[in-house]
Amino acid sequence: MDIGLKSRDDFLEGQVLLIDKPLEWTSFDAVNSIKWAIKRRFGLRKIKVGHAGTLDPLASGLLIICTGKATKKISEIQSAPKEYEGIITLGATTPSYDMETQVDQRFETDGIQEAMIRAMTKEFTGKIKQVPPVYSAIRKDGKRLYEYARSGEYVEIKSREVEIMQFDILSVQMPEVGFRVRCSKGTYIRSLAHDFGQKLGCGAYLSSLRRTRIGDFNVNKALHPKEFGEMLKSEGE
């Protein structure tokens, strides 16, 4: 992404920035980094900055950040289909459906063949019902689901309808399965990985995830938050 010679007024009027969120950064970390870089560069006390779709700390990839009046576009951008690439690890499960929590069960995978894995993607293509992970930021009765999970409280989570437009297997190197998914807003790839393992009868969890697209926006044109800050700084010198 070329931020060009943007002025103070450009950022206040509104910019749509493509950011490549690093692993272990929260989406808030990335937004804060961009916001601080803009405020410091132009001596601003206040500027609106927000993101169009959270990425978990254990996921990397495209995070769209809007500034100024462009924050009004956030809802529209969030509703666009998203594309992810990642790795599903078969033969084990975790409570969070990813690597945030430790493995709690292990299963044999000797009978799982590559042909079975590839065929199973058809079961998850189209409109499907999905239960979000209990380790998620969805609110129920005023609390985040992960707050219930971390305190050991049981909470009933209703399923929701999502759409998987494309589910491709990119590689199979047991127990790791590389995949690409194109899906609707609200889809939890962690839940998809968990449910995929359940259907195969061997358990599974998400061990790697990268968001590559949101609508027509591609991560190939995105900047690391620190790279954005350095470019903005150098343009002012």
Q: Binning pLDDT at 50, 70 and 90, where does residue 3 land?
A: low
Residue 48 has what pLDDT? 96
Among 20, 56, 98, 195, the active-site one is 56
**What is the gyration radius of the CA atoms in the chain, in angstroms?**
20
Residue 114 has what pLDDT? 97
> Hey, what CATH class is 82-214 in?
alpha beta
β partners of residue 9: none
Q: Binning pLDDT at 50, 70 and 90, where does residue 4 land?
A: low
Q: Which CATH superfamily is domain 8-79+216-235 in?
A: Pseudouridine synthase (3.30.2350.10)
Q: What is the dihedral of CA 85, 90, 92, 96, to 10 degrees?
A: 20
What is the pTM (predicted TM-score) of this model?
0.91
Per the omega criterion (within 30 degrees of 0), is the bond before 133 cis?
Answer: no
Same fold, 8-79+216-235 and 82-214: yes
Query: What is the tens place of the pLDDT at every residue in 23-77?
Result: 999 999 999 999 999 999 999 999 999 999 999 999 999 999 999 999 999 999 9
**Residue 168 annotated in active site:** no
Task: Select the more confidently predicted residue: 56 or 233.
Answer: 56
Instruction: Report the mean per-residue pLDDT for the chain.
Output: 91
Going from N- to C-terminal start, the domains of the chain cover 8-79+216-235, 82-214
The answer to whether 160 touches 183, Cβ cutoff 8 Å, is no
